[in-house]
Structures are given as C-alpha cells and as structure tokens.
Amino acid sequence: MVDFVFFLKNVLVVSLAMNLCLIWRLSHHNEENIAFSWGNLQQKLNNFNTAGKNNTRGEEVDVAQVSKRTIEVLKTTSSAATNDPDGGESNLVINLDHGDPTMYENYWKQKGEETTVVTSSWQHISYFSDVKNVCWFLEPGLVRAVTRLHKVVGNAVTEGRHIVVGTGSSQLYQAALYALSPPDSLGPMNVVSAAPFYSSYPLMTDYLKSGLHKWAGDAYEFNKNEPYIELVTSPNNPDGVTRQDVVKGNNGILVYDLAYYWPQYTPIILPADYDIMLFTVSKSTGHAGTRIGWALVKDREIAKKMTTFIEINTIGVSKDSQIRAAKILQTVSDSCENANQKEPESFFDYSYKFMDERWKKIREAVNKTELFSLPDFSHETCSFSGRTFGQLPAFAWLKCEGEVDDCESFLRRHKIYTRGGKHFGASKKYVRISMLSRDSEFEILIKRLPAIIIS
C-alpha cells in the first residue's frame, strides 16, 4: 500500500513538472509566434530617426511587441507558478503600444438589432457602387451617412466636397500623396509634419522607395525652397494638441488628418473647412476591423487621382464594410438626434464620459508620483455638446521627469509596453500610451504607474 502511495506521489511529481514544462513551452511558443505582430511597424520605424534616410526595411522580430494572447498565457503561467496575492497581475505585461480602439465595445453591445447588418450572398457582387460618382466604388449609403454625421456634429464642411472612401485612412494618406506629387518632376515631393508626428507617416511615405514622394522630416525644420506636402494632424497623434500648419511656405499643399476631431476627444470649435481632410471610423466609432476611412476633397481632379490610386492599389474598397460603416454612422447620428428622448445618451455622450473618466484616473495616477508628467490642455466650449473641457486625447503623451532618459525602456522594465518618443521624431523622454484599450489593461496601468520607483 505504501509502495503504491509512493508510486503515486512520484507520478504526481513527474506530472506536475511536466505541466510546468508544458506551460513554459506553450508561453514561449506563443511568444515566438506572435512577437512580430503589428510591431514590424515599430521595428521599421527605428530606421526613421533621421529624415530622408532610405533604409526602410527591418524585418527582425521586435520582442517588445507582445499581444493580448501572450498576456493571457503569461497570466496563466504566473498564477499557476506563484501564490501572488493579486492573482499574478504584477507579472502581467500590458501592451499599450498600439491604439486598438476596443474601448467602445460595451456601448455597441448595448445596442439592439437596429445596428445589425444582414447581407445576402447575391448582394454587392459588382466592383461598382455608383458609376456617376468621381469615386465609383463609393456606396451611396455611406455618402449619406458621412454627410449627415458631419452635419449633426458640426466638425467638417461637406458642401462642395467630393468624398473618397479608403481601406482605412492609411490608404487615403497614400492616395493623397500620389494625387499631390507631380509625376513628371525631377525629384520626389517632400513630405513633412511637425514633430511629434504620427509614427507611421515616414514609413507609409517611404516603404516602396517611391520616386514620387519622400519623407522630409519635422516640418519645423523644413527650410528648403522646394514644393512640399505638410500633414497637419489635429488633434495631434501622439500628443493631442490642436494643430495648424507650420511651414507656411509658398509651395506647400496641406493635408489635414482629422481622425480625432470628434467630440469625445476634443471640443469641436468650428466645422473644419480645408481642401483635403481625412477621417476614419476606427477612432470615431471604434470599428477598426471594418477598415473604412473617408476623405473630403474640394478639388475634383485631386479626388479623381486619389480614386485612381485606390483603383490600382486594391480596385476599390470592401462594399460589405462600407455598408456596415454606413449603418454604424447612421446609428451614431440617430443617437445624437434622439438623445434625451428615445435614448438615454448619445454615442458621443457615452464616449466623452468614458474618455473623461479615463483621463481623470490617469492624471490621478501620475500626480501620485514625481516620475511622470502629462500635458495640460486649455479649456474650450464644444459647439456640439455645449460642454467646456480640455482635450481628452486617444493617447497619453507621458514624459519621464528627472534622470530617466529613455522612458520607453524604463516602462518596459515595468512590463508596460509603449511607443517611445523617437518614433514620433521627439525626445526619448516621452512615450505614447494608448488610452483606447479594454478596461482590464487600463486598470492595471493606473495601478502600476504610481507604484513605480527608480531602483
């Protein structure tokens, strides 16, 4: 009998050891498989510290990039291996490097069938949506939804504009560069944006070593007497600041990236009224997976050339996603017009309160320590909501105060993955932290930040 118990104990020990090995192996296997994801972008951006540099391809795995799946595996592993009172939370890696906008998911879960899209297999078969439109692959329903929402919110002029739809606003950015760069000029067109600038601009401009356009760096430092395209991102990614153009030369063409010019992120002051304006559902309603963006373009020829780019690049844009985006945008407009009547709160009420609460929490967390600081924003009155408030950006532009020179590496040692200032043409003392994650990650962030000490 004792022998049998002894035998059983041995088997149990072997089995437990095997479990630990397997869990370890599993977590490393997953890490190896997924570490590259999304992060090639970041890895490549390491090559862009100097404006105009052309080495745009770095394919090595960036171990900084660990996704949610790894987090879950690590959590399982650490919970199993330790008796950590917080359930292993302190061992969790939280990845706030990218801006995956999952934070409005709960809002959409509350919505009923009026937001559901039903598509039969015979629908939307053709390449064409509306052959009378400059943008022939643009669904008429999306035109109506975009036009209505801008009117309801008052954040952009749509009268006298051509709408061009894109597979996200990234494609529209590239379409705008194509449309604005003369095909027959001697050298490529300069593309600039004021630092800190969106970290993907350099990569999207140069990844194909195009002879049409080239990244020329920080707009503040651009002093060539040459034609240029200036990207004006307002509110700005990464720092949330309201922007105007800065070069103010005679040969410039301005492209306004207004992805965040919505009333949950910033007070709406006036309807934007520029020649080329880019928007996306990813950040306005949180539907990144649909990959739908739109451009409002004053000049017909530029709208045509942007359409041509998308025609060559992807022969149009998914009809299914356009139709879904139209439904989502109409629902948002409905929620604004029905607020206080049929519906308890509009989408923008919900999302404003959501962002406001997150910003209060992160400011509280940062105020508890001397190590970090956040930008302050002056208050203005929003013409849409009537509220007076300062920016509530989709990203926190956090500064490491004192002696810490490389804020990204510093936070990484504390298992907070962020995108460092150098990727945005700025100091390494800054990092960009996504404010758009799910609650679980955000709560860990605000618990962990004030607990960090310099060791």
Q: Which of residues 338-367 bind a copy of itself (CB under 8 A)?
A: none
* Closest distance to a copy of itself from the beta carbon of 189 (Å): 11
Q: Are 396 and 433 in contact (CB under 8 A)?
A: yes
Residue of 274, 333, 297 lying closest to 144 (CA atoms): 333
Q: Can you tell me which of 148, 150, 283, 324 binds a copy of itself, judged by CB under 8 A?
A: 324
CB of 89 to a copy of itself, least distance (A): 21
Number of residues located near a copy of itself, criterion CB under 8 A = 92
- The residue (of 149 and 371) whose beta carbon lies closer to a copy of itself is 149
The one-letter code for the residue type at 233 is T
What residues from 149 to 208 belong to the interface with a copy of itself (CB under 8 A)?
167-168, 170-171, 174, 178, 183-184, 200, 203-204, 207-208
Beta bridge partners of 134: none
The smaller minimum CB distance to a copy of itself, of residues 58 and 87, is found at 58
Q: Which runs of E-coded beta strand occur in 281-387? A: 292-297, 372-373, 380-381
Per-residue burial over 148-164, b = 16 or more CB atoms within 10 Å of its CB, e = otherwise: bbbebbbbbbbeebbbb
Q: Which lies closer to a copy of itself via its Cβ, residue 3 or residue 113?
A: 113
- Smallest Cα–Cα separation from 379: which of 365, 395, 390, 367? 390
Spatial CA neighbour of 309 closest among 178, 162, 127, 131: 178
Residues 65-94 within binding reach of a copy of itself (CB under 8 A): 67-70
Q: Please report, as residue ranges, which positions from 272 to 301 form the binding site for a copy of itself (by CB under 8 A).
A: 282, 286-292, 301
Name residues contacting a copy of itself, limited to 106-135 (CB under 8 A): 108-109, 111, 115-122, 124-129, 131-134
Q: What DSSP line would sit under 374-417, residue for residue?
A: ------EE-TTT--EE----SEEEEEE-TT---HHHHHHHTTEE
Q: How far is the CB of 29 from a copy of itself (least distance, A)?
A: 9
- Among the listed ranges 61-69, 191-199, 231-239, 425-433, the one in contact with a copy of itself (CB under 8 A) is 61-69
Of the candidates 339, 358, 361, which has an alpha carbon nearest to the alpha carbon of residue 348? 339
Selection from 199, 145, 166 nearest residue 277 by Cα: 166
Site for a copy of itself in 365-404 (CB under 8 A): none
Contact predicate 61/36, CB 8 Å = yes
User: Which of residues 159 and 301 has its CB atom nearest to a copy of itself in the complex?
Assistant: 301
> Nearest approach, Cβ of 290 to a copy of itself (angstroms)?
6
- 179: which 2 tokens? 């449309």
How far apart (Å, rounded) are the C-alpha atoms in residues 346 and 200? Answer: 32
Contacting residue, 23, 79, 89, 136, with a copy of itself by CB under 8 A: 136
Q: Among candidates 382, 373, 438, 402, which has minimal Cα distance to 98? A: 438
Of 233 and 391, CB closest to a copy of itself: 233
Residue closer to a copy of itself by CB (options 9, 438) is 438
Count other C-beta atoms under 10 Å from residue 101's C-beta: 22
Task: Pick the closer one to a copy of itself by CB: 10 or 55.
Answer: 55
Closest distance to a copy of itself from the beta carbon of 352 (Å)? 19
Stretch that binds a copy of itself, among 62-70, 259-267, 389-397, 445-453 (CB under 8 A): 62-70
Q: What minimum distance in Å lies between the beta carbon of 263 and a copy of itself?
A: 20
- Position 43, amino acid: Q
Figure out which of the listed residues 142, 317, 411, 433 binds a copy of itself, where binding follows CB under 8 A. 317
* Residues 31-50 contacting a copy of itself, CB under 8 A: 33-34, 36-38, 40-41, 44
Instruction: Tell me how far apart the terminal alpha carbons of the chain are, to the nearest angstrom.
Output: 54
For a copy of itself, the closer CB: 50 or 119: 119
Output 74 or 382, the one with its CB closest to a copy of itself: 74
Residue among 76, 91, 210, 409 that touches a copy of itself (CB under 8 A)? 210
> Which tokens belong to 378?
């002056």
